[in-house]
Amino acid sequence: MYAGWLTCLEDPDAEPMAAAISVGTNPTFDGVERRVETYVLDRTDLELYGCRIGVDFISRLRGQVKFDSLDDLIVQMDADVVAAREVLGVTPPADA
């Protein structure tokens, strides 16, 4: 897991967006194909499928882990978002 920034390359005015980035095979779900999955912090309105993006890795947060349950994975994902915020200097929105 990494902290970094995602930028939509198709919009010349696009600002980089803070992100938690997973690189791996999704071992909790017995995945074998390596994937890059980027969660943009505090955004639920994005539609980036089919869009060229740039991902800048700033800091490694942790290695890949196989979790015993989906609940354990969700708890860790929440912690990863907190860690990404700290590394990137991003505060949560006031209504969060």
Looking at domain 2-88, its CATH architecture is Beta Barrel (2.40)
Q: In what order do the strands lie in the sheet with 17-24?
A: 35-40, 17-24, 2-8, 53-60
Which sequence spans correspond to the domains of the chain?
Answer: 2-88
In sign, the C-alpha dihedral spanning 67, 62, 48, 33 is negative
Q: Are strands 2-8 and 17-24 parallel, antiparallel or unpaired?
A: antiparallel
Here the tokens at position 13 are 């005015």
**Tens-place pLDDT, residues 45-57:** 988 888 899 999 9
pTM: 0.87
Look at residues 49, 46, 21, 50 and name the one whose alpha carbon lies nearest to residue 36.
21
Mean predicted confidence (pLDDT) in 50-79: 94
